[in-house]
Amino acid sequence: QAKSRGKNTFDFYAPELTQSVRARLTMEGDLRAALDTNQFLLHYQPIVSLNGAGVQGLEALVRWQHPVRGLVPPDEFIPVAEDSGLIHEIGDWVIDAACAQLAQWDARGLSHLTLAINLSPVQFRRDGLVSRIARRLRQHSIASERLHLEITESLLMEQNRHVAETLQTLDAMGIGLCIDDFGTGYSALNYLRHFPIRQLKVDRSFVEDMLHAEDTRALVRAIVLMAHALRLEVVAEGVEEKSQLELLREMGCDQVQGYLLSRPLPAAEIPGWIESQRLRIVS
């Protein structure tokens, strides 16, 4: 169809293209400046056990405090950071900030918490990820067991020897590897046997559809059973309603995370939130 417009095609599309290219370049420049002037911050969302153990840990979620646009969510800038390579520096900042925060909470007596951080597949393609993580843990005196890394199914599907070795090393260090958004990728279940995965995080879309769609409910139930057969833990993401939590508990899901429990919170609000939960543990 575009071809039939012949000569005019370029004129017709060019302004739009130019605009999106320009927007992207602007964002790249802004991200660069954001790194230099410390505009990133982490919010933390509690992950709560369904077997009475209370708050198990937190997930660190990056935000960008943009001078003009305000608080920008990660889905709007992580893809640009990945394409431009800036994800390496942003990712290193996240690792450092997360470990520093764990150390701060330790000092306040919250030394039982685990902290999960999200890693982009791009970060695995550069050498030295393991040593950079190890250095940060050492620097902040954090035991590696306290750190969880959330990775995507697509990373495992790459069949990349370097990635496989990196994951083996991280696991051997005691770091817990979790598959994020489980069920949305290829879900070639065979891969679960070949990688040292500890936890599956069932994607929010399943939790959302589960109450209304019987097939989705059957899928979640099957994921929990399969995960447990492989000795993996299951975390349900995006739990917003009590009825979802009850169904997940009945299915044997291990942990839940979602707005029903808490939104992602600034670091300063975490000790208070945990204290307020101590007496009303979901069990």
Positions touching Mg ion (CB under 5 A) are 118, 150, 180-181, 237
> What is the C-alpha separation between 14 and 22, in angstroms, rounded?
12
**Nearest to ligand C2E of 21, 277 (CB atom):** 277
Residue 120 touches which of Mg ion, ligand C2E, none (Cβ within 5-8 Å per kind): ligand C2E
Does position 151 interact with ligand C2E (CB under 6 A)? The reply is no
DSSP letters spanning 83-144: HHSTHHHHHHHHHHHHHHHHHHHHHTT-TT-EEEEE--HHHHTSTTHHHHHHHHHHHTT--G
From the list 6-14, 19-27, 182-190, 236-244, the region that binds ligand C2E by CB under 6 A is 236-244
Q: Which of 46, 57, 176, 258 binds ligand C2E (CB under 6 A)?
A: 258
Distance separating alpha carbons of residues 246 and 168, to the nearest angstrom: 35
Q: Which does 49 bind (CB under 5 to 8 A by kind): Mg ion, ligand C2E, none?
A: none
Answer yes or no: are the C-beta atoms of 206 and 222 closer than 8 Å.
no
d(CA 283, CA 274) in angstroms, rounded, equals 15
Rounded to whole angstroms, the Cα distance separating 29 from 46 reads 33
CB of 155 to ligand C2E, least distance (A): 11
Residue 238 interacting with ligand C2E (CB under 6 A): yes
CB 144 within 8 A of CB 114: no
Type of residue at 208: E
Does 240 contact ligand C2E by CB under 6 A?
Answer: yes
Residue numbers 74-93 binding ligand C2E by CB under 6 A: 74-75, 78
**Nearer residue to ligand C2E within complex by CB, 30 or 180:** 180
- Dihedral sign, CA of 212, 218, 219, 224? positive
Q: Alpha-carbon dihedral of residues 69, 73, 76, 80, nearest 10 degrees?
A: 100
- Based on CB atoms, which residue is closest to ligand C2E, 44 or 105? 44
Compare residues 113 and 245 and give the one whose CB is closer to ligand C2E.
245
Site residues, ligand C2E (CB under 6 A): 45, 61-62, 73-75, 78, 94, 117-120, 150, 180-181, 204, 237-240, 258-259, 264
